[in-house]
Structure 1
Amino acid sequence: MSSASREKTLILMRHAKAEEGLGKADHDRELATRGRRDAKAAGRWLHEQGLVPDLVICSTAQRTRQTWEEACRGGAHTEFVEYRRSVYLGGSEQTLETVREDAGETTTVLVVGHNPTMAQLTSLLTDGEGSREAHDALGEGFVTSGLAVLRYAGEWADIDFGSCALARFHVSRGHDD
């Protein structure tokens, strides 16, 4: 297998802005109006960048599901979405294990999850490698609707801390339609 065919892209996305959780279980919190706009903008950005995931692994939380739905309204697309409680409940290790187990032969995987896991996982996987500009942007904080685009050369089953380079970090902000 040539190294080119082993090139992989992992996109880690933090859900868009959610409503305050007053009187509602955390798992059931929905997106705020701004969150819907920002998620749609994230979908537009993914489309414009030509980033089409073969697989989306999404937390089971309502706000992450809605983030991906709105991203699709903005132009994002995938054939397969898997909803994993491990991305909602787990930290960096458990989320990474989910990617190892689920990604199979895919080339591009997008994970829609939560902080602090998305920020920690990005830092642990990249270990400072990649675009200085992207690391500087990430240093400002992995805010809602943030997307980290990581490059990885290898099999998904072998992805580990320090094995990726951060190619891009983008924060999507929508506008009133």
Structure 2
Amino acid sequence: MDLIIWRHAEAEPGEPDEARALTTKGHKQASKTAGWLDRHLPGNCRILVSPAVRTVQTAEALGRKFKTHPALAHHATAQGILAAVNWPDARETVLVVGHQPTLGHVISLLITGQEQEWMLRKGSVCWIAQKVTESGAVNYLKAVIGAELAGK
């Protein structure tokens, strides 16, 4: 299984937290990263998005169908996200658009086996894949890219 983790782009400050919209810079970040993703995502990729405005706006930059999922909201847990995407048993690639610090927890858990305070910058993507070998399953980083390197 491949799991792609995309942190929402830069958002305006304010309350309520779930209603915060992307800034002009955030829209540019989302567009750049979406361009990179569009060139690399398989056609059968399932896209799950936190219901927060900023994550929905980030996902909309990709121009593909997606579903919002309450298990990806700002208060999500790493285990909740992994359950929502059916890791590692999903047959298709899954793209998650969500929030820090939980996304960092998911990445560190899958790579090291422990939840740690790893930072994923706004608008950035981390692509994790799993390979099953004779000695067991191995998770590895397939790609990590920041919005500033994703496109023009």
What is the CA–CA distance in structure 1 between the aligned matches of 2:84 and 2:30, rounded to whole Å?
23
Partner of 2:62: 71
Query: Aligned pair 1:164/2:139, yes or no?
Result: yes
What is the CA–CA distance in structure 2 between the aligned matches of 1:167 and 1:82, rounded to whole Å?
24
What is the CA–CA distance in structure 2 between the aligned matches of 1:109 and 1:61, rounded to whole Å?
19
Give the alignment's TM-score, normalised by structure 2. Answer: 0.81
Q: Once the 2 structures are TM-superposed, how far is the Cα of residue 168 of structure 1 from its aligned partner?
A: 1.2
Q: Once the 2 structures are TM-superposed, how far is the Cα of residue 163 of structure 1 from its aligned partner?
A: 4.8
Q: SS where residue 43 of structure 1 aligns?
A: helix
What is the CA–CA distance in structure 2 between the aligned matches of 1:84 and 1:69, rounded to whole Å?
15
Query: What is the correspondence of 1:1-177 to structure 2 with a 5 Å cutoff?
Result: 8-21=1-14, 24-48=15-39, 50-52=40-42, 54-72=45-63, 77=64, 80-88=65-73, 89-100=75-86, 104-106=90-92, 108-127=93-112, 141-153=119-131, 163-173=138-148
Greater than 3 Å deviation, 4+ residue runs: none
Identity %: 29
Give the alignment's TM-score, normalised by structure 1. Answer: 0.71
8 Å CA contact 2:38–2:62 kept in 1: the answer is: no
Residue segments in structure 2 that go unaligned for 5+ positions in a row: none
Q: SS where residue 145 of structure 1 aligns?
A: coil
Normalized per residue, the structure richer in helix is 1
8 Å CA contact 1:57–1:110 kept in 2: the answer is: yes
8 Å CA contact 1:55–1:110 kept in 2: the answer is: yes
Partner of 1:158: none
8 Å CA contact 2:111–2:139 kept in 1: the answer is: yes
Q: SS where residue 66 of structure 2 aligns?
A: strand
Mean Cα deviation higher: 31-40 or 83-92: 83-92
Q: SS where residue 144 of structure 1 aligns?
A: coil
Q: SS where residue 173 of structure 1 aligns?
A: helix
Letter in 2 for 1:164: N
Alignment size in residue pairs: 139
Q: SS where residue 30 of structure 1 aligns?
A: coil
Q: SS where residue 56 of structure 2 aligns?
A: helix
What is the CA–CA distance in structure 1 between the aligned matches of 2:142 and 2:148, rounded to whole Å?
20
